[in-house]
Structure 1
């Protein structure tokens, strides 16, 4: 039997929770209050996590060192690998000049900056989240908007706000698939059925946020008065996304929710602008004023540029290649195919799972975190070909060659991306190291148990448990793997429907993505503003907490007043 976790290391649970939270407090204070860089803040948080694990939780030095190294490596693969290649893809489009074509194509959509933000950050960002996830929507859409003239920091804030409602179904439904896999056995059901239940429940919560987020984005960009001017666009975009999200999540499962919803929302917004325009075209301060009708016509004329490389579909060729490559790589998870045609199975065959030396099943989790004493696995999965990062790299090379970039250019841009991303990569690895140290020492479970003591209010705080997990890991799938089983077990003990509690972990968790340091770092780096993560945190933290509270209140109401909304097998 290995080292047994103790969730009350300093006595009362409330005091233990305060001690367990110290790494997070130090990280937030350094980043937000003292305005230190993300990588320095992460280093201070990691140092605090190590001290707490050793001094308070009495974690053996060898296990502590091993969990730290595993976190650093896990930060590199797959997390940083995905973010790095997403930024590389964007840099390739810039280096080849194709991004200018995209800019002109977007100008042909509409000159109003509010509508551009809806199309790019909310619509296209959700599409990227659906096929890839992993920080790529933030990096790509923020860079796109900055290149179109949006104030860089504001572009990242908009991308972070937009990257909420679609996250639970991101990466072709991976967060909910993970949740179903880890929580299904605790609910006495198979993983596939559990996944369908969690998908349906998330589809009965997130559509409300899908209606709210577009309006919130525009309000942050232009103010509430200007937001009301475009209510038809907000209702069309958010409403179409919400309805489609509900239908696909409940009747088709999680894999295609974001892809179908994003395409439907983008198509609906485009169709609306063919016969409706805002009463005034809203531009940034300092942009030259112009006759609105003339501006719209000139924008459409620009989109119909006679040069072939600037025409609609042709301009979007690299992104169509990206979507196609990712879709093909995941096709086996969507359709049942014969072995010779299952590209997904081919790619997954190259995956190597490494039990981490000195840590795998050497830590024992105990009730109520698990139903019984259970060795804590510690495995590194090297999905060498199936990783979204690898697929994005393949798509980058294909798109670069199609856009007539030389191999020398592709290599040069790759090196420039490595230099550009160096501090973001350092931040990501240290954040994941903090998460692993807290997980294996038991600190994360202490925080979860403290929130679970809220009794009647547990459904409300269940959303904040997920929020905490995504803040720590930057990934809704990782948060579900970390806290999903605990949410289900706690719910069963409190006579709360476990489907609702598990879903709250993922729907509340998505709101933590906009303040996760690794995502802040990726966004800042994508716009050339590395080191200004503290500014992003201050502009998103309040919205993150508010939206999580909305999910928590919805979960509380569904638990005690509207239980009929909870799906059953």
Structure 2
């Protein structure tokens, strides 16, 4: 028998939880209060996590060291690999000059910055989240908006806010598939059946967020009065996205929710702009104004759109992004069409190169006990190297294809790749250390202590279930990882409290999406994408309380569904 986790190392749950939270507190204080860089804050947080694991949880040194190294490697693959190649893709479009064409195409779509934010951050970002996820929507949309003249920090804030409502179904529904896999057996269900129920329940929660987020974004960008001027665009974008989310999540498949909702929202917004325009065009201060344009942003918002006509306009301007979406969809075709013959199933080909490596010195050497697992079970530690199937690998292939189509030479592609590495080096270090913190806390038992403390809230458990998911995504940067970490605990706790386990699992997913905007690795990716490495503390201060408030909205929704609107729970 291996080392057994103890979730109350000092004899009481809440006291143990306070000590378990020390690494998170150190990380937040260093980043948000002391305003240290993300990589330095992550290093301090990792040091605190090691002290707590060793001094409070009495974790053996060899297990602690092994979990730390596993976290570092996992942060590199696949998390950092995805973010890096997403930024590389954008850098290729800039280096080839094609981004000027995209700038012109967006100006032709609508010169109003509020409408551009809805299209790029919310609509296109949701499409990227749906087919890839992993930080790529934040990196690409923030870089796009910054290059279009949005004030850089504001561009990342908008990207972070937008990358919330789609996250529950990101990566072709991966968070719900993971949740069904780990929690289904605890509910005496097949994983596929559990996934369908969790998808339906989540589809009855996050559409509310989809209605709120577009309006919230425009208010953050331009203020309440300017937001009211574009209420038809806000309503059409959020309403069409939310309606399609509900329909696809409940009646089709979690794998298609974001793709179909994003395409619907972008199409609806485009149709609206053909028959309606804002009463005045809102631009940034310092830009050349058209007609009765108003200003309302900071003077350093960036350059205006170029006055010279680019070589490619219209749909051709979007060629690199059409290639990106097409390559990702082809790589996931087996998930979309399971009945494909073997010769046409590109997904199966790519997945055949995946390696699963039981981590030396850690795999199944730690035992998790009730109520985290029932019965006691060894804690697996397996590193999955999806060499070809990873969204990062697919984005790299798309970047090379798009670069060649845009007539970039191999020498240019190699040069841009190196420049991207130099640009991303501190973000990569941050991501690796954040995942090391998460792994040390997970394998020492500290994360489970925090989850159990929040679960001991009785009648209010459905409310705090959302914050458990929020905590998981804050620690890991991934809703799928949060579901893998806390999904079983949420289901077991709900069963003990007489709450529907489907509701609890969905709350973990829906609440988790709000942790995305404050997860340090996502802050670091966003800051790096706009050339503002070291400004992560500014991003955190602008998003933290919004993240808490929106998680509370999810919690209140879940609480109402648990006790008042039980008919909303599927099954």
Band of TM-score, shorter chain: over 0.9
Q: In 1, Cα distance between the equivalents of 2:67 and 2:288?
A: 56
CA contact (8 A) 2:365 2:378 kept: yes
3-state SS of paired residue (2:385): strand
Task: Write out aligned runs for 1:513-524 (5 A).
Answer: 513-524=516-527
Q: Which residue of 1 aligns with 2:296?
A: none
Shift of 1:101: 0.7
3-state SS of paired residue (2:255): coil
Q: Which residue of 2 aligns with 1:296?
A: none
3-state SS of paired residue (2:225): helix
Shift of 1:310: 2.2
Q: In 2, Cα distance between the equivalents of 1:254 and 1:395?
A: 24
Q: Which residue of 2 aligns with 1:114?
A: 114
Superposed CA RMSD in Å reads: 1.5
Q: In 1, Cα distance between the equivalents of 2:209 and 2:312?
A: 35
Q: In 1, Cα distance between the equivalents of 2:404 and 2:26?
A: 46
Q: In 1, Cα distance between the equivalents of 2:196 and 2:289?
A: 51
3-state SS of paired residue (1:357): coil
Shift of 1:541: 0.3
CA contact (8 A) 1:75 1:430 kept: yes
Q: In 2, Cα distance between the equivalents of 1:392 and 1:287?
A: 33
CA contact (8 A) 1:89 1:392 kept: yes
Q: 272-281 vs 518-527, which deviates more?
A: 272-281
Q: Which residue of 2 aligns with 1:62?
A: 62
Task: Write out aligned runs for 1:44-443 (5 A).
Answer: 44-292=44-292, 309-335=311-337, 336-443=339-446
Q: In 1, Cα distance between the equivalents of 2:400 and 2:248?
A: 33
CA contact (8 A) 2:9 2:57 kept: yes
CA contact (8 A) 2:527 2:533 kept: yes
Q: In 2, Cα distance between the equivalents of 1:398 and 1:123?
A: 24
Q: Which residue of 2 aligns with 1:11?
A: 11
Shift of 1:43: 0.2
Normalised to the residue count of structure 1, the TM-score between the two structures is 0.97
Shift of 1:225: 1.1
Shift of 1:306: 11
CA contact (8 A) 1:200 1:253 kept: no
Shift of 1:290: 2.6
Shift of 1:92: 0.5
Q: Which residue of 2 aligns with 1:451?
A: 454
Normalised to the residue count of structure 2, the TM-score between the two structures is 0.97
CA deviations 1:170-218 (Å, max 9, x no partner) are 1111111111111111010011111111111111000000000000000
Shift of 1:422: 0.2
Decide whether aligned partners of structure 1 residues 82 and 445 sit closer, same or farther in structure 2, where only a CA change above 3 A counts.
same
3-state SS of paired residue (1:352): strand
CA contact (8 A) 2:180 2:195 kept: yes
CA contact (8 A) 2:517 2:547 kept: yes
Structure 1: state its 5+ residue gaps. 294-301
Shift of 1:346: 0.4
CA contact (8 A) 1:39 1:427 kept: yes
CA deviations 1:133-184 (Å, max 9, x no partner) are 0000000000110011100000000000000000011111111111111111
CA deviations 1:413-465 (Å, max 9, x no partner) are 00000000000000000000000000000000000000010000000000000
Q: In 2, Cα distance between the equivalents of 1:4 and 1:489?
A: 19
3-state SS of paired residue (1:354): strand
Shift of 1:284: 1.3
Q: In 2, Cα distance between the equivalents of 1:307 and 1:49?
A: 54
Decide whether aligned partners of structure 1 residues 74 and 401 sit closer, same or farther in structure 2, where only a CA change above 3 A counts.
same
- Counterpart check, 1:525 vs 2:524: no
Q: Which of 539, 550, 554 pairs up with 1:536?
A: 539
CA contact (8 A) 2:27 2:42 kept: yes
3-state SS of paired residue (1:285): coil
Q: Which residue of 2 aligns with 1:299?
A: none
Q: Which residue of 2 aligns with 1:547?
A: 550
Q: Which residue of 1 aligns with 2:298?
A: none
Shift of 1:111: 1.0
CA contact (8 A) 2:100 2:310 kept: no
Shift of 1:287: 2.4
Q: In 2, Cα distance between the equivalents of 1:323 and 1:131?
A: 7
Q: In 2, Cα distance between the equivalents of 1:368 and 1:413?
A: 50
- Counterpart check, 1:567 vs 2:563: no
Task: Write out aligned runs for 1:451-470 (5 A).
Answer: 451-470=454-473
Q: 272-281 vs 204-213, which deviates more?
A: 272-281
Q: Which residue of 2 aligns with 1:298?
A: none
Q: In 2, Cα distance between the equivalents of 1:100 and 1:225?
A: 31
CA contact (8 A) 2:101 2:310 kept: no
Q: In 1, Cα distance between the equivalents of 2:318 and 2:45?
A: 41
Structure 2: state its 5+ residue gaps. 294-303
Shift of 1:531: 0.2
- Counterpart check, 1:486 vs 2:486: no
